Structure 1
Amino acid sequence: MPETLRLTPQEALARLVPHILEMESAAHGQRIAIGLAGGPGSGKSTLATELVAMINAVHPGSAALVPMDGFHMKHAKLEAMGQTDYKGAPHTFEGAAFVSFLHHLKRARTSVNGPGYSRKIEDTVDDAFTVGEEVRVLVVEGNYLLLTEGPWAGVKPELDYSVFIHVPRETVRARLMKRHGEEGLFTEERNRAHIERTDLPNYDLVDASKDRADVVIDLVTEH
């Protein structure tokens, strides 16, 4: 069982940054991948972004963010499959492509571009970020990094250290209502239905994978 720590986001960063810098030093120039997993609305994306910034503040240019969300299936493909109502579920991602991308990134010696996801258009964007050749720490962020089903089982072997971010289910529900409503693309009724049908079952699935992490952080937040 992984160690479970109850920490604020700032405390979590204060604990993770020195540990990752030690790992980077011990890797002797080889790339390391740090996984931040957690359900939708857990705050892992924000934490991952801050983690990259803090590592780069110590060693400029040494860390890069690698988001799993860029490997959503294209919206047009989901429409053709009749799966738009389940967008965000594990089977609506290009999981095998994500594993292949991670494997390549760990070993790449030149700059590599990767896809991102835009909430403004609810679709993926090609070449949304670049991992420069000088990068030594990949901060990989996503829901399904620790799953054992299908292609997702290939993610954990690529991670040198994995962190699971946990927040209460009701907190997630409230955050997702706010998030889905911010861009104004859908009605409140649609957003609520999507959360109950897709997001919360995904939260439950992901939460069941947390024992595979090296450490679980019970994130203490005000809302």
Structure 2
Amino acid sequence: MGPGRLKLTPQQALSRLVPHILEMESLAHKRIAIGLAGGPGTGKSTLAAELVTMLNATHPGSAALVPMDGFHMRHAKLEAMGQTDYKGAPHTFEGADFVDFLHHLKSATGVVSGPGYSRKIEDVVENAFAVQPEVRVLVVEGNYLLLSEGPFAGVRPLLDYAVFIDVPRELVRQRLMKRHGEEGLFTPERNAAHIERNDLPNYDLVSASQDRADVVIELVVER
């Protein structure tokens, strides 16, 4: 039996997820982690941020966003490895550090700060967010939360509930061209080549991990 599949708009998805998570939180005696996984360009970051906002509207200060993107390898390290063309692939993340961080977060009683990622500089930013002691729900967001191989395999056992966000591949391609073009760092030709060489293979790899989710949500979205 694979996970259940739901076809929902982002608002419908939030309306489904919020009460379910609130119920989980009320029954849990410790901090819980909710995973939102999906390929690049699927809108999971936006959904995760809105989920945190809605949870905090019900119970102020109870939810925090934990993005996987802060665990990109630093750009200088990727340059030294000759891997800048593959930035964003699983092997260009500090996967083991991310698993350790998540493990620590689940049992932490003090303030814990974590790294983020800035598309403006295409690099990691230290202390981009802080998880306060009163947080009860960690909303963890990233591409590789459900992988079964390599260091990322350690993430799934730490998630109390895992959601996979599914968006059609062609729409993802269009969104990524727009996203890569917004900061104006590279030419459209470079961006198109990067998407074909790196982003879409990563999307395909991530799609293959969706059976490890508790639920798959096919997002009904505008372009």
* TM norm. shorter chain > 0.5: yes
* 1:109 CA displacement: 0.2
In the alignment, which residue of structure 2 is the partner of 1:192? 192
* 1:56 CA displacement: 0.1
Q: Does 1:128 find its partner at 2:128?
A: yes
In the alignment, which residue of structure 2 is the partner of 1:23? 24
Separation in 2, partners of 1:31, 1:189: 45
* Percent of paired sites with the same residue: 81
In the alignment, which residue of structure 2 is the partner of 1:169? 169
Query: CA deviation digits over 1:130-187, x for unaligned, max 9?
Result: 0000100000000000001111110000000000000000000000000000000111
In the alignment, which residue of structure 1 is the partner of 2:212? 212
Separation in 2, partners of 1:73, 1:207: 23
Separation in 2, partners of 1:214, 1:164: 8
Separation in 1, partners of 2:209, 2:143: 10
Separation in 2, partners of 1:23, 1:90: 30
SS of 1:138's partner is: strand
**AA in 2 matched with 1:171:** L
In the alignment, which residue of structure 1 is the partner of 2:96? 96
Runs of 4+ in 1 over 4 A off after TM superposition: none
In the alignment, which residue of structure 2 is the partner of 1:73? 73
**AA in 2 matched with 1:205:** L
SS of 1:202's partner is: helix
Q: Does 1:145 find its partner at 2:145?
A: yes
SS of 1:114's partner is: strand
* CA RMSD between the two structures: 0.3
SS of 1:133's partner is: coil
Counting matched residue pairs gives 222
Separation in 2, partners of 1:149, 1:71: 17
* 1:104 CA displacement: 0.1
Separation in 1, partners of 2:38, 2:26: 27
Separation in 2, partners of 1:53, 1:222: 22
SS of 2:45's partner is: helix
**AA in 1 matched with 2:124:** T
* Counterpart mapping for 1:150-161 below 5 A: 150-161=150-161
Q: Does 1:59 find its partner at 2:62?
A: no
Separation in 2, partners of 1:31, 1:214: 19
Separation in 2, partners of 1:86, 1:36: 23
Where does the alignment leave 5 or more consecutive residues of structure 1 unmatched? none
**AA in 2 matched with 1:221:** V
SS of 1:106's partner is: helix
Q: Please give the TM-score of this superposition, normalised by the length of structure 2.
A: 0.99
* 1:222 CA displacement: 1.3
Q: Please give the TM-score of this superposition, normalised by the length of structure 1.
A: 0.99
**AA in 2 matched with 1:157:** P
Separation in 2, partners of 1:186, 1:33: 36
